[in-house]
Amino acid sequence: MKTTQIIGIVLFIVAAVVAYMGYSESQGIASSLSSTFNGQPSDNVMLKYLLSGVATVAAIVLLKR
């Protein structure tokens, strides 16, 4: 197995963990209040979702090589 494939698999795992952390945070009281008053999730939740997406795309690119 190539090094790039191993890094791709690790990035998939990291993306899943970060997405789970974002989901867990979005279910919390602070995020619920932020969503109620602002109409959108907190910045931390959106940042974690964005980082998860970037890590997923990077993993796909590395696994295609």
Residue with the bigger pLDDT between 43 and 55: it is: 55
pLDDT tens, residue by residue, 24-48: 988 888 888 878 888 887 888 899 9
Q: Report the number of distinct structural domains present in the chain.
A: 1
Residues 6 or more apart whose CB falls under 8 angstroms from that of 22 comprise 44, 45, 47, 48, 49, 52
Query: In the predicted model, is pLDDT for residue 5 greater than 90?
Result: yes
Read off the amino acid at residue 55: A
For residue 16, the enclosing domain spans 3-64
Q: What is the pTM of this model?
A: 0.84
Q: Are 15 and 48 within 8 A, CB to CB?
A: no
Q: Give me the pLDDT at residue 29, please.
A: 85
